[in-house]
């Protein structure tokens, strides 16, 4: 039933209000892990972005199971990366009438899952 030739399934969360640098630190922890282990790592991680990444991972697994007929037990995190989204530029008043820029950064989080090849 899987019509994808490479058997990869992806999910993306766009415009997540977290700096890409912070998200990349967490995404690096789950790369190449089985899905169950990756969800466990995210559950016990103390960073706030872990919740958003966990949502994206669950979405990718749901896409694989519902749209491509794959088994959730066989999946692993093949690719996980964070791209930079648009930046909201804000101003903070400083001394002597000057101002400093505050950059509120956004991320696009993408996770690709694939079935593990048993060899």
Report how far apart the first and last C-alpha atoms of the chain are (Å, whole number). Answer: 22
CA distance 107 to 111: 13
CA distance 11 to 59: 6
Taking only the tens of pLDDT, the chain with its 119 residues reads 445 456 899 999 999 999 999 999 999 999 999 999 999 999 999 999 999 999 999 999 999 999 999 999 999 999 999 999 999 999 999 999 999 999 999 999 999 999 987 54
Identify the structural domains of the chain with CATH numbers, from first to last: 9-115 (3.90.470.10)
Task: Tally DSSP H helices, then E strands, for the chain.
Answer: 3, 3
Instruction: Write the pLDDT tens digit of every residue in 4-28.
Output: 456 899 999 999 999 999 999 999 9
Neighbour tally for 59: CB within 10 Å: 17
Say what the pLDDT of residue 117 is: 77
| Total-model pTM | 0.88
Say what the pLDDT of residue 5 is: 52
> Is residue 45 packed enough to be buried (19+ CB in 10 Å), middle (13-18) or exposed (0-12)?
middle
């Amino acid at each position: 039933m899987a019509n994808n030739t490479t058997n990869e399934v992806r999910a993306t969360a766009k415009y997540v209000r977290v700096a890409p640098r912070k998200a990349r630190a967490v995404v690096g922890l789950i790369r190449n892990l089985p899905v169950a282990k990756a969800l466990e790592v995210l559950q016990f991680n103390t960073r706030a972005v872990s919740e958003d990444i966990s949502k994206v991972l669950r979405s990718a697994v749901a896409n694989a199971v519902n749209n491509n007929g794959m088994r959730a037990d066989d999946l692993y995190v093949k690719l996980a990366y964070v791209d930079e989204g648009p930046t909201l530029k804000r101003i903070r008043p400083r001394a002597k009438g000057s101002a400093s820029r505050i950059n509120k950064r956004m991320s696009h989080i993408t996770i690709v899952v694939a079935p593990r090849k048993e060899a």
